Structure 1
């Protein structure tokens, strides 16, 4: 599945199928939260949360691609991310875009 943040795919004509998205909500375990709290005191990157966000984006992209495949899409254009905190230790990430089918 071709996924791009651009509107056009060079060399291809396509028809729009519609919006697709993938959503995930992740949290870390209590030990990671304690470690993050300690890191917050001294500063620096909180790797457990960086990894959680990376994993969340990958899962959201995968779910979006699965939804596009179910609709018969060849690609997704104009892909974007949105995210937000649900509580102090949960993060929701959505990947969304427009599913398209090649006509050339």
Structure 2
């Protein structure tokens, strides 16, 4: 699955737009992590306990978004974005984008890129 934050995908032709897909999670910290993080916050700087939660949340919402896109028959997600918010003591993380079916443009055609040309020919080792 190709996931990009851009609105288009250089070297690829969009064959179909399948609509918005998203992944969402709402997380809380355990009491031990919150307690430790509270002490770290006094001194300033990064709070590793919360950083870990946010990384895990982003990976989870990406997985959920990709799964939804695959279920719709997409092989790419365009214009992917993250959104975060807090609800009381909880943090919400959402990933969303536009599910699409794309095909690589072959070498010699207008808009082709070296990468798309490799995928178009199915060159071994390119994931095609």
TM-score tier (shorter): over 0.9
- 1:87, CA displacement in angstroms? 1.6
- 1:48, CA displacement in angstroms? 0.5
Q: Alignment RMSD, CA only?
A: 1.1
* Structure 1 spans left out of the alignment, 5+ residues: none
Counterpart in the other structure of 1:61: 62
* Counterparts of residues 28-43 of structure 1 (less than 5 Å): 28-43=29-44
* Counterparts of residues 56-95 of structure 1 (less than 5 Å): 56-88=57-89, 90-95=90-95
Q: For residues 8-49 of structure 1, what are the alpha-carbon distances to aligned partners after superposition, in whole Å with 9 as ceiling and x for unaligned? A: 111111121100000011111100000111112121211000
Query: Which of 1 and 2 has higher RCO (CA within 8 Å, sep 6+)?
Result: 1
Count of residues in correspondence between the two structures: 103
Q: For residues 53-86 of structure 1, what are the alpha-carbon distances to aligned partners after superposition, in whole Å with 9 as ceiling and x for unaligned? A: 0110110000000000000001000000001011
Counterpart in the other structure of 2:97: 97
- Higher share in strand: 1
Higher alpha-carbon Rg: 2
Q: The residue matched to 2:56 in structure 1 has which SS?
A: helix
User: Structure 2: how far apart are the matches of 1:80 and 1:61?
Assistant: 10
* Structure 2 spans left out of the alignment, 5+ residues: 105-128
Normalising by structure 1, report the TM-score.
0.94
